[in-house]
Amino acid sequence: MRVLVFNAGSSSLKLGVHDIGMTSHQRLKATFDRFGGGRCVARITGPKGTRQEALDHADIPAVIAAVPALLGAEGLGAPDAVGHRVAHGGARFTDPARVDDALLAEVEALTPLAPLHNPAGLAGMRAAMAAWPGLPQVAVFDTAFHLTNPPRATTYAIPAPWRDAGMRRYGFHGTSHKYVAERAAAELGEPLRDLRLVSLHLGNGASACAILNGESIDSSMGLTPLEGLVMGTRSGDVDPGLFGFLERRFGLSAAEVEDALYRESGLLALAGVSDMQEVEARAEAGDSAAQLAIEVCAYRARKYLGAYAAAMGGLDTVVFTGGIGENSASMRRRICDGLGFLGLHLDQDRNLAVDLSDGAAPQIQAYGSRVRVLVTETAEQLMIAQETACHLARPAPGPAVIPVAVSARHVHLDAAAVAALFGAGHVLRPACPLRQPGHWVAEERVTLEGPRGRLERVAILGPLRDRVQVEVSRTDSFALGLDPPVRDSGRLQDTPHLRLIGPAGTHETDGLIIAARHIHTNPADAARLGLADGDVVDVQLGSPGREVTFARTLVRVSPVAVTEMHIDTDEANAAGLHGAAEGEILPHPARIAPS
């Protein structure tokens, strides 16, 4: 499938043409900017070579209207689909969506949250619909990747009516963070689900993202693209009290302050220019304002990096991307310096010799550094093209119904724990079998104790494991006074400690988790349902009119598994489930391998 991608900004337009199949190939890329006097500057790389020229296009819609002729001149012909980058999709758009009048209206309603970005995206979509009226067009949202962030990361401590109106943290640059995380995992030869990774997208717009086991769990941008790191013309984090102060001191309205925070702040405010290369040149020449600007930028990024390491319980990988992240060795060094306590050490020579040609993603950490540090070009357009193709390749909806089991709090014990709790030589007595072959509930029970309280008579599941694992709900965790992470079974590193109490003694252990919802299935059922091991799917549960969709449910395929979905008691309560239940697997994208 040939996909034309548009990334429309407030003052520029980037486009690309990608052939998406089992591998992906970029056929053309172009940037149009410096609009003024009815003209713009175009930089185009395609089958006919690379060129830069001034064109008689007054604005972005005029450029898009001329793209069919450009494609024809490059010998590419019409695309099969068009993909659009849209900055803000709110909480509504968890996945790519077909562009139609209803979508345009919803994106327009979100414009107050992204006043620099959503209007440009809307203009691009409307112009493309006029240029290719019969072609499928898909919107891909910057915010979608971050909708896996837990409520504790997205909730502002503000009055409930404000929160009810949609005031929460969303995060942006999602397509970039998603791409570089996948690129880093591929470069390291490790599954993304095994990594604790911080992605630093540093450019005129800048953000940090904490990615734990393949999911975004926090991002430095918030309700709007203003929050977080220092950017070219955007302030990043400021005290919200400045609105009242500036109104009292200078008589500025909220709209005037907001506009200044978007357009007159960041590097521009600190150093007088918004381009980091120019800031670094001025700093090298002795400009103290430029020197301060660099220090502020690096300090803010380093704070977020350290905070996200704490949020994830450790750090395996840091990835630099974006114009500054890719090109400024000194900024990479400033951000990483002082993080040796995390096991992060840069190699100066490797940092200075970064070469990103041919899609390289070099590692620049020192030998012996526990944390890997990579640099890679971002490929937002490629990611948008792939997600557009995947969305259009979704199979027609069909019945994919599976049984749902509610998993109450329980423990899996190892031999040492059994001996400590029930006495040396004790063997657990199976009381009744579970649906999964070879698994059972024991007659014995155990008490869980945390700093706040106890949970009595907790079930023990067999057979024994190599390591103790304790699974509770979020509500249970408050009763214990502990904060376990949401994890797949077996992922127990850096989990909280608690005490197990049995009739013969106690056992101190880590391994406390909230089990991530998942689906067990076997190869035959997986083939029937169109699933593969490691897939992440959405499942709809609940009675008609009160359906609840559980997103990002992991699929585990085993030759001996019985097909069923496992959720915990909190999730069952949210869906209003009582007793036996079924869920419907919603259609999921076809798999398209990256280039």
Tell me the catalytic residues: 142
Rounded CA separation 166/140 (Å): 20
Q: Six-digit token pair at 352? A: 């200075």
Nearby residues of 359 by Cβ (< 8 Å), 6 or more positions away: 377, 595
Q: Which residues are bridge partners to 34 per DSSP?
A: none
188 is in an annotated binding site: no
DSSP 263-331: HS-HHHHHHS-S-HHHHHHHHHTT-HHHHHHHHHHHHHHHHHHHHHHHHHTS--EEEEEHHHHHH-HHH
Q: Six-digit token pair at 64? A: 């898009």
Q: Six-digit token pair at 552? A: 């990002």
Rounded CA separation 454/246 (Å): 51
Q: State the pairing for strand pair 97-98/401-407.
A: unpaired
Nearby residues of 276 by Cβ (< 8 Å), 6 or more positions away: 232, 267, 297, 323, 324, 328, 331
Handedness of CA 511, 517, 518, 519 (dihedral sign): positive
Specify the DSSP element, H or E, that contains 548.
Answer: strand 548-557
Q: Are 229 and 297 in contact (CB under 8 A)?
A: yes
380 is in an annotated binding site: yes
The one-letter code for the residue type at 183 is R
DSSP 67-112: HHHHHHHTT----SEEEEEES--TTT-SS-EE--HHHHHHHHHTGG
174 is in an annotated binding site: no
Rounded CA separation 273/278 (Å): 7
In this structure, how many other beta carbons lie within 10 angstroms of the beta carbon of residue 560?
9
205 is in an annotated binding site: yes
Rounded CA separation 507/563 (Å): 34
502 is in an annotated binding site: no
Q: Six-digit token pair at 410? A: 């329980």
The one-letter code for the residue type at 122 is L
202 is in an annotated binding site: yes
Nearby residues of 459 by Cβ (< 8 Å), 6 or more positions away: 408, 409, 410, 411, 441, 442, 445
292 is in an annotated binding site: no
7 is in an annotated binding site: yes
118 is in an annotated binding site: no
Q: Six-digit token pair at 535? A: 């897939």
201 is in an annotated binding site: yes
Q: What are phi and psi of 311, to 5 degrees?
A: -65, -35
514 is in an annotated binding site: no
The one-letter code for the residue type at 270 is L
Q: Tally DSSP H helices, then E strands, for the chain.
A: 19, 28
Rounded CA separation 21/167 (Å): 39
Vertex 88, ends 90 and 145: CA angle to 5°?
75
Vertex 401, ends 395 and 402: CA angle to 5°?
125
264 is in an annotated binding site: no
Rounded CA separation 410/407 (Å): 8
Question: Could you tell me which residues are annotated as the binding site for substrate?
Answer: 85
Question: Could you tell me which residues are annotated as the binding site for Mg(2+)?
Answer: 7, 380
Question: Could you tell me which residues are annotated as the binding site?
Answer: 7, 14, 85, 201-205, 323-327, 380
Question: Could you tell me which residues are annotated as the binding site for ATP?
Answer: 14, 201-205, 323-327
